[in-house]
Amino acid sequence: MAIYLNGQFMPIEEAKISVLDRGFIFGDGVYEVIPVYSLRAFRLQEHLRRLQHSLDGIRLANPHSESEWVNLVNQLIARNSGEDQYLYLHITRGVAKRDHAFPQPPVTPTVFMMSSPLPSPPAELLHSGIACITAPDNRWLRCDIKSIALLPNVLLRQMAVDAGCAEAILIRNNEFMTEGAASNIFVVKNGTLLAPPKDNLMLPGITYDVVLELAAANGIPHEVRKIAVAEVFAADELLLTSSTREVLAITQLDAKPVSTGKPGAMFARLHKLYQEFKRDVMRKSQD
Protein backbone atom coordinates (compact mmCIF):
# COMPACT_ATOMS: atom_id res chain seq x y z
CA MET A 1 0.00 0.00 0.00
CA ALA A 2 1.48 3.33 -1.10
CA ILE A 3 0.87 6.30 1.15
CA TYR A 4 1.82 9.96 0.75
CA LEU A 5 3.66 11.85 3.44
CA ASN A 6 5.06 15.36 3.13
CA GLY A 7 5.98 15.35 -0.53
CA GLN A 8 6.76 11.68 -1.06
CA PHE A 9 4.98 8.44 -1.86
CA MET A 10 6.27 5.47 0.10
CA PRO A 11 5.22 2.11 1.58
CA ILE A 12 3.23 2.65 4.79
CA GLU A 13 5.91 0.83 6.83
CA GLU A 14 8.42 3.54 5.94
CA ALA A 15 6.21 6.47 6.94
CA LYS A 16 7.44 8.25 10.08
CA ILE A 17 6.31 11.43 11.83
CA SER A 18 7.72 13.27 14.83
CA VAL A 19 6.23 12.67 18.29
CA LEU A 20 6.04 16.48 18.48
CA ASP A 21 3.61 16.64 15.57
CA ARG A 22 0.70 18.79 16.74
CA GLY A 23 -1.70 16.21 15.33
CA PHE A 24 -0.24 13.66 17.75
CA ILE A 25 0.08 16.05 20.71
CA PHE A 26 -3.11 18.14 20.39
CA GLY A 27 -5.25 16.56 17.66
CA ASP A 28 -4.52 19.86 15.89
CA GLY A 29 -5.52 19.04 12.33
CA VAL A 30 -8.30 18.24 9.89
CA TYR A 31 -9.10 15.40 7.49
CA GLU A 32 -11.22 14.26 4.57
CA VAL A 33 -12.53 10.89 3.43
CA ILE A 34 -13.12 10.68 -0.33
CA PRO A 35 -14.70 7.68 -2.07
CA VAL A 36 -13.22 6.54 -5.37
CA TYR A 37 -15.34 4.59 -7.88
CA SER A 38 -13.76 3.06 -10.98
CA LEU A 39 -10.54 4.98 -10.17
CA ARG A 40 -12.39 8.34 -10.09
CA ALA A 41 -12.48 10.44 -6.93
CA PHE A 42 -16.16 11.24 -6.37
CA ARG A 43 -17.04 14.93 -5.96
CA LEU A 44 -13.39 15.81 -5.46
CA GLN A 45 -14.08 19.55 -5.81
CA GLU A 46 -16.73 19.37 -3.07
CA HIS A 47 -14.42 17.40 -0.78
CA LEU A 48 -11.61 19.91 -1.39
CA ARG A 49 -14.04 22.76 -0.67
CA ARG A 50 -15.04 21.10 2.61
CA LEU A 51 -11.34 20.60 3.40
CA GLN A 52 -10.78 24.33 2.82
CA HIS A 53 -13.70 25.09 5.16
CA SER A 54 -12.13 22.87 7.84
CA LEU A 55 -8.69 24.48 7.35
CA ASP A 56 -10.26 27.96 7.58
CA GLY A 57 -12.06 26.82 10.74
CA ILE A 58 -8.75 25.97 12.44
CA ARG A 59 -6.88 28.91 10.85
CA LEU A 60 -4.39 26.74 8.98
CA ALA A 61 -3.20 27.80 5.51
CA ASN A 62 -3.94 25.23 2.81
CA PRO A 63 -0.58 23.63 1.97
CA HIS A 64 -1.68 22.89 -1.62
CA SER A 65 -3.56 24.56 -4.44
CA GLU A 66 -6.61 22.78 -5.84
CA SER A 67 -4.67 21.56 -8.88
CA GLU A 68 -1.90 20.20 -6.65
CA TRP A 69 -4.48 18.30 -4.59
CA VAL A 70 -6.10 16.89 -7.72
CA ASN A 71 -2.71 15.74 -8.95
CA LEU A 72 -1.76 14.17 -5.58
CA VAL A 73 -5.12 12.44 -5.25
CA ASN A 74 -4.88 10.97 -8.76
CA GLN A 75 -1.34 9.76 -8.11
CA LEU A 76 -2.44 8.12 -4.87
CA ILE A 77 -5.31 6.35 -6.63
CA ALA A 78 -3.01 5.10 -9.41
CA ARG A 79 -0.42 3.78 -6.92
CA ASN A 80 -2.99 1.69 -5.05
CA SER A 81 -4.79 -1.37 -6.28
CA GLY A 82 -8.53 -1.69 -6.71
CA GLU A 83 -11.02 0.21 -8.81
CA ASP A 84 -12.97 1.32 -5.74
CA GLN A 85 -11.00 2.89 -2.90
CA TYR A 86 -11.50 5.41 -0.17
CA LEU A 87 -8.90 8.07 0.36
CA TYR A 88 -7.98 9.52 3.72
CA LEU A 89 -6.38 13.02 3.66
CA HIS A 90 -4.93 14.39 6.88
CA ILE A 91 -3.30 17.76 7.53
CA THR A 92 -1.87 18.88 10.86
CA ARG A 93 -0.33 22.16 12.00
CA GLY A 94 3.10 20.49 11.87
CA VAL A 95 5.95 19.79 14.27
CA ALA A 96 6.77 22.31 17.00
CA LYS A 97 7.80 22.58 20.66
CA ARG A 98 4.74 21.75 22.78
CA ASP A 99 2.73 24.93 23.35
CA HIS A 100 -1.02 25.18 22.89
CA ALA A 101 -0.79 28.43 20.90
CA PHE A 102 0.10 28.24 17.21
CA PRO A 103 3.85 28.00 16.47
CA GLN A 104 5.20 31.44 15.64
CA PRO A 105 6.44 31.75 12.92
CA PRO A 106 4.23 29.00 11.45
CA VAL A 107 5.88 25.65 10.69
CA THR A 108 5.33 23.43 7.66
CA PRO A 109 2.06 21.48 8.00
CA THR A 110 2.18 17.69 7.95
CA VAL A 111 0.31 16.23 4.97
CA PHE A 112 -0.59 12.55 4.99
CA MET A 113 -2.77 10.57 2.58
CA MET A 114 -3.62 6.90 2.33
CA SER A 115 -6.00 4.69 0.39
CA SER A 116 -8.05 1.67 1.50
CA PRO A 117 -10.32 -0.68 -0.43
CA LEU A 118 -13.96 0.49 -0.60
CA PRO A 119 -16.32 -2.48 -0.50
CA SER A 120 -20.06 -2.00 -1.12
CA PRO A 121 -22.13 -2.59 2.01
CA PRO A 122 -22.79 -6.35 2.32
CA ALA A 123 -26.15 -7.65 1.03
CA GLU A 124 -26.99 -8.86 4.52
CA LEU A 125 -26.87 -5.27 5.88
CA LEU A 126 -29.03 -4.02 3.03
CA HIS A 127 -31.55 -6.74 3.72
CA SER A 128 -31.75 -6.43 7.52
CA GLY A 129 -30.73 -2.82 8.12
CA ILE A 130 -28.59 -1.79 11.08
CA ALA A 131 -29.18 -1.25 14.78
CA CYS A 132 -28.38 2.08 16.43
CA ILE A 133 -28.48 3.63 19.86
CA THR A 134 -29.23 7.24 20.70
CA ALA A 135 -26.67 9.15 22.75
CA PRO A 136 -26.26 12.71 24.00
CA ASP A 137 -24.24 14.79 21.52
CA ASN A 138 -21.48 15.92 23.86
CA ARG A 139 -19.14 17.18 21.12
CA TRP A 140 -17.98 20.77 20.67
CA LEU A 141 -19.88 23.49 18.78
CA ARG A 142 -17.88 23.28 15.54
CA CYS A 143 -18.93 19.88 14.24
CA ASP A 144 -18.88 21.41 10.73
CA ILE A 145 -15.06 21.20 10.94
CA LYS A 146 -13.80 17.74 10.00
CA SER A 147 -11.33 17.74 12.89
CA ILE A 148 -8.95 14.85 13.55
CA ALA A 149 -9.69 15.37 17.27
CA LEU A 150 -12.32 12.63 17.26
CA LEU A 151 -12.29 11.40 20.86
CA PRO A 152 -15.98 12.22 21.48
CA ASN A 153 -16.92 10.46 18.21
CA VAL A 154 -14.71 7.50 19.17
CA LEU A 155 -16.38 7.16 22.59
CA LEU A 156 -19.86 7.55 21.10
CA ARG A 157 -19.23 4.93 18.41
CA GLN A 158 -17.81 2.58 21.05
CA MET A 159 -20.98 3.04 23.14
CA ALA A 160 -22.89 1.79 20.10
CA VAL A 161 -20.53 -1.14 19.57
CA ASP A 162 -20.76 -2.08 23.25
CA ALA A 163 -24.55 -2.24 22.80
CA GLY A 164 -24.12 -4.51 19.74
CA CYS A 165 -25.02 -1.62 17.41
CA ALA A 166 -23.48 -0.07 14.32
CA GLU A 167 -23.86 3.64 15.11
CA ALA A 168 -24.85 6.21 17.73
CA ILE A 169 -27.48 8.77 16.69
CA LEU A 170 -26.62 12.00 18.47
CA ILE A 171 -29.12 14.17 20.34
CA ARG A 172 -28.21 17.75 21.24
CA ASN A 173 -29.47 19.20 24.54
CA ASN A 174 -32.08 16.46 24.77
CA GLU A 175 -33.93 18.42 22.07
CA PHE A 176 -32.95 17.64 18.47
CA MET A 177 -31.03 15.15 16.36
CA THR A 178 -27.77 16.23 14.75
CA GLU A 179 -26.10 13.26 13.01
CA GLY A 180 -24.36 9.95 13.70
CA ALA A 181 -20.94 9.57 15.34
CA ALA A 182 -19.46 9.20 11.82
CA SER A 183 -22.46 9.56 9.50
CA ASN A 184 -25.49 11.71 8.67
CA ILE A 185 -29.01 10.63 9.65
CA PHE A 186 -32.34 11.17 7.88
CA VAL A 187 -35.84 10.67 9.28
CA VAL A 188 -38.79 9.56 7.14
CA LYS A 189 -42.32 10.48 8.20
CA ASN A 190 -45.50 10.13 6.13
CA GLY A 191 -43.53 9.76 2.91
CA THR A 192 -41.37 12.84 3.51
CA LEU A 193 -37.61 12.67 3.86
CA LEU A 194 -36.48 14.94 6.70
CA ALA A 195 -32.87 16.13 7.00
CA PRO A 196 -31.31 18.32 9.69
CA PRO A 197 -29.88 21.65 8.43
CA LYS A 198 -26.18 21.99 7.66
CA ASP A 199 -25.13 24.21 10.54
CA ASN A 200 -22.25 24.27 13.03
CA LEU A 201 -23.62 21.20 14.85
CA MET A 202 -23.09 18.66 12.07
CA LEU A 203 -20.65 17.71 9.38
CA PRO A 204 -21.99 18.73 5.96
CA GLY A 205 -21.90 15.27 4.40
CA ILE A 206 -21.20 14.87 0.71
CA THR A 207 -23.41 11.72 0.67
CA TYR A 208 -26.12 13.74 2.49
CA ASP A 209 -26.02 16.19 -0.45
CA VAL A 210 -26.29 13.36 -2.97
CA VAL A 211 -29.32 11.87 -1.20
CA LEU A 212 -31.11 15.25 -1.09
CA GLU A 213 -30.28 15.84 -4.76
CA LEU A 214 -31.66 12.41 -5.68
CA ALA A 215 -34.81 13.16 -3.70
CA ALA A 216 -35.25 16.52 -5.47
CA ALA A 217 -34.58 15.05 -8.93
CA ASN A 218 -37.05 12.21 -8.42
CA GLY A 219 -39.97 14.07 -6.88
CA ILE A 220 -39.48 12.61 -3.39
CA PRO A 221 -40.95 15.03 -0.82
CA HIS A 222 -38.14 16.32 1.41
CA GLU A 223 -37.62 18.99 4.03
CA VAL A 224 -34.45 20.36 5.58
CA ARG A 225 -35.20 21.51 9.12
CA LYS A 226 -34.42 20.84 12.74
CA ILE A 227 -35.61 17.36 13.79
CA ALA A 228 -36.94 17.03 17.33
CA VAL A 229 -35.88 14.00 19.36
CA ALA A 230 -39.52 12.84 19.54
CA GLU A 231 -39.61 12.71 15.72
CA VAL A 232 -36.66 10.33 15.71
CA PHE A 233 -38.52 7.90 17.99
CA ALA A 234 -41.77 8.29 16.00
CA ALA A 235 -40.07 7.83 12.60
CA ASP A 236 -41.51 5.57 9.91
CA GLU A 237 -37.94 5.02 8.73
CA LEU A 238 -34.44 6.14 9.70
CA LEU A 239 -31.58 6.27 7.19
CA LEU A 240 -27.83 6.61 7.61
CA THR A 241 -25.43 7.99 4.99
CA SER A 242 -21.66 8.28 4.66
CA SER A 243 -19.00 8.02 1.96
CA THR A 244 -17.97 4.58 3.16
CA ARG A 245 -21.42 3.16 4.05
CA GLU A 246 -23.50 4.73 1.25
CA VAL A 247 -27.19 4.63 2.31
CA LEU A 248 -28.32 2.18 4.99
CA ALA A 249 -31.65 1.59 6.72
CA ILE A 250 -31.69 1.80 10.52
CA THR A 251 -34.16 -0.84 11.61
CA GLN A 252 -33.57 -0.88 15.36
CA LEU A 253 -33.21 2.04 17.74
CA ASP A 254 -32.34 1.61 21.40
CA ALA A 255 -33.17 -2.12 21.10
CA LYS A 256 -36.69 -1.45 19.70
CA PRO A 257 -37.78 -1.93 16.08
CA VAL A 258 -38.09 1.20 13.94
CA SER A 259 -41.67 0.91 12.68
CA THR A 260 -41.90 -2.63 11.17
CA GLY A 261 -38.26 -3.40 12.02
CA LYS A 262 -37.50 -3.90 8.32
CA PRO A 263 -35.99 -1.54 5.72
CA GLY A 264 -38.87 0.55 4.37
CA ALA A 265 -40.08 1.91 1.04
CA MET A 266 -38.03 5.15 1.20
CA PHE A 267 -34.86 3.17 1.82
CA ALA A 268 -35.63 0.84 -1.09
CA ARG A 269 -36.21 3.81 -3.38
CA LEU A 270 -33.18 5.83 -2.33
CA HIS A 271 -30.90 2.82 -2.29
CA LYS A 272 -31.91 1.96 -5.86
CA LEU A 273 -31.44 5.57 -6.98
CA TYR A 274 -28.06 5.68 -5.24
CA GLN A 275 -26.87 2.48 -6.94
CA GLU A 276 -28.03 3.80 -10.33
CA PHE A 277 -26.27 7.09 -9.64
CA LYS A 278 -23.11 5.19 -8.70
CA ARG A 279 -23.25 3.16 -11.90
CA ASP A 280 -24.23 5.97 -14.28
CA VAL A 281 -22.54 9.02 -12.77
CA MET A 282 -19.94 8.23 -10.10
CA ARG A 283 -18.19 5.60 -12.23
CA LYS A 284 -18.23 7.73 -15.36
CA SER A 285 -17.37 11.33 -14.48
CA GLN A 286 -15.40 13.38 -11.97
CA ASP A 287 -18.69 14.53 -10.47
| Distance (Å, whole) CA 130 – CA 157 | 14
Q: Is 91 exposed, middle or buried (0-12, 13-18, 19+ CB in 10 A)?
A: buried
* Helix (H) / strand (E) containing 186: strand 184-189
We find the least distance from the C-beta atom of residue 66 to ligand PDD, in angstroms, to be 18
- Nearest to ligand PDD of 5, 168 (CB atom): 168
We find the least distance from the C-beta atom of residue 175 to ligand PDD, in angstroms, to be 19
Nearest by Cα to 132 from 87, 186, 74: 186
| Distance (Å, whole) CA 212 – CA 222 | 8
- Nearest to ligand PDD of 56, 99 (CB atom): 56
- Nearest to ligand PDD of 242, 252 (CB atom): 242
* Helix (H) / strand (E) containing 277: helix 265-277
- Nearest to ligand PDD of 90, 93 (CB atom): 90
Coil, helix or strand at residue 141: coil
Q: Which of 146, 189, 226, 278 is catalytic?
A: 146
For this structure, is 284 an active site residue? no
Q: Are 115 and 12 in contact (CB under 8 A)?
A: no
Cα 232 to Cα 29, 193, 208, 229, 247: the distances in Å are 33, 12, 17, 5, 17
We find the least distance from the C-beta atom of residue 104 to ligand PDD, in angstroms, to be 31
Binding site for ligand PDD (CB under 6 A): 33, 179, 182-184, 203, 205-208, 241-244
We find the least distance from the C-beta atom of residue 43 to ligand PDD, in angstroms, to be 9
Residue 12 DSSP label = G
- Residues with catalytic roles: 146
